Every structure is written in C-alpha cells, then in structure tokens.
C-alpha cells in the first residue's frame, strides 16, 4: 500500500518532534540538580548554554518570572512551551 506524501511528511515531522522532545527532556534532567522536575535560574542558565541559547542574567530572571508567576522554579512542561 502506498502512503500519501502528506501522510509521510506528517509522520516524519512527528518522529522528528518526538525525538527532539526526548532530547530536550534528557538535557533538562541533566541540569535538574535535585531531581525534583524543576530548575532554578542557575540551572536554566546552564540548560540554555547547552542548547546554544545563551542569555544574560536579566533575561533569565525575566524568563523565569514570566513563566512561574514568582515561584522561581520552572518545570519541563513550562520550558517546552516556550520553544
């Protein structure tokens, strides 16, 4: 049975996105020092450096404040929404 080009393309995009999501999850876990599923500003700085997305301290703090409503820690789910 022959697969349509659109279905083939959609399947490839899904596979790529699933692989990218897993890679991001693994990287997030590497910088989550206490293993609680959230990262603080220092861990976020390290994560963004690893991903080649270097930001200054003010940008990092604004990023965290925007995502966490002042809780000072960011979850993987919140982080992934921003990418």
Kindly state the average pLDDT of the residues 2-6.
59
Q: Measure the CA dihedral 53/20/26/63, to 10°.
A: 40
The angle subtended at Cα 20 by Cα 28 and Cα 39, nearest 5°, is: 15
29-59 pLDDT, tens digit per residue, is: 998 999 999 988 888 888 888 888 888 888 8
Structure confidence at residue 29 (pLDDT): 92
Structure confidence at residue 2 (pLDDT): 56
12-33 pLDDT, tens digit per residue, is: 655 668 888 888 889 889 989 9
Of 18 and 1, the structure prediction assigns the larger pLDDT to 18
- Beta 38-39 vs 74-75: how paired, if at all? antiparallel
Tokens for 73, please give them: 């820690």
Q: Measure the CA dihedral 34/50/56/74, to 10°.
A: -40
């Amino acid at each position: 049975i022959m697969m349509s080009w659109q279905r083939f393309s959609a399947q490839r995009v899904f596979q790529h996105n699933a692989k990218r999501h897993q890679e991001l999850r693994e990287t997030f876990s590497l910088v989550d020092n206490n293993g609680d599923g959230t990262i603080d500003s220092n861990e976020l700085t390290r994560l963004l450096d690893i991903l080649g997305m270097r930001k200054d301290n003010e940008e990092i703090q604004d990023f965290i404040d925007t995502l966490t409503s002042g809780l000072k820690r960011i979850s993987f789910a919140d982080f992934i929404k921003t990418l």
